[in-house]
Amino acid sequence: MAIELDDYTKSCEAENGGIDEFIIYNICDRASYTLENGVVTAMTMSNGTQAYSWTPDMESASAGETTTRNRANNSVFHAQTAMIMFKEDSNAVVDLVANAGKGFFGIIVKKSDPDGSVYRHLGLVNGMTLETAEGVLGQLYEDLRGHTLNFVGKELAKAPSISSAIVAALLVPAS
């Protein structure tokens, strides 16, 4: 259907992309998951473990993936990235940065979407690792202190979607 100039349906409205929330967990703490047709249909955590949520400020987070193909051996993979910026230098954030360097992480991204919550799971199979962690103590005349964490991972499939109900269950300590 062609869109006319006087057609003010949602498809013609401007929208801002962005990230509303990150949900992060260590994949070693994941007990099981089920993936069907690009959708995570079930996921559980090991006893006593849970995922953690972080809601970024504007322009403090990004996530994405790039499909890469190699002609020499006809291979393809999806490079996945997530950048999280903490705009503080508290002891809790320093400890978080130190712990982020250990292990492989599943990172679920809640995308801003006018139709409702859209979640994508980065690093579902292989996990994401912390590639760089930059800490800035401060800058004269500017409040630029804080930490920037850059996670990377490679998967054979695109980041699958996951329901808000499964995500909510991951944030409760498993027993």
* Higher pLDDT, residue 135 or 64: 64
* Prediction pTM value: 0.83
What pLDDT, on a 0 to 100 scale, did the predictor assign at position 88?
Answer: 78
Q: How far is the C-alpha of 162 from the C-alpha of 164, rounded, in Å? A: 7
**pLDDT score at 166:** 96
What's the gap between Cα 17 and its chain centre?
14
- What average pLDDT score do residues 124-144 get? 82
By C-alpha distance, which of 44, 50, 170 is closest to 119?
170
Which parts of 27-164 are beta strand (E)? 30-36, 39-45, 52-54, 61-70, 75-86, 105-111, 118-122, 129-136, 146-155, 161-162
> Pick the residue with more confidence: 52 or 14?
52
- Residue 94 clears pLDDT 60, i.e. is over it: yes
Give the mean pLDDT of 69-91. Answer: 89
28: closest CA among 103, 101, 129? Answer: 103
Average pLDDT score over the chain: 85
User: Whose CA is closest to 128, among 21, 6, 24?
Assistant: 24
* pLDDT value of position 142: 65
Residue 93 — very low, low, confident or very high, per pLDDT cuts 50/70/90? Answer: confident
Q: How confident is the model at residue 161 (pLDDT cuts 50, 70, 90)?
A: very high
Amino acid (1-letter code) at residue 106 = G
More confident residue, 129 or 134: 129
Q: pLDDT at position 147, please? A: 84
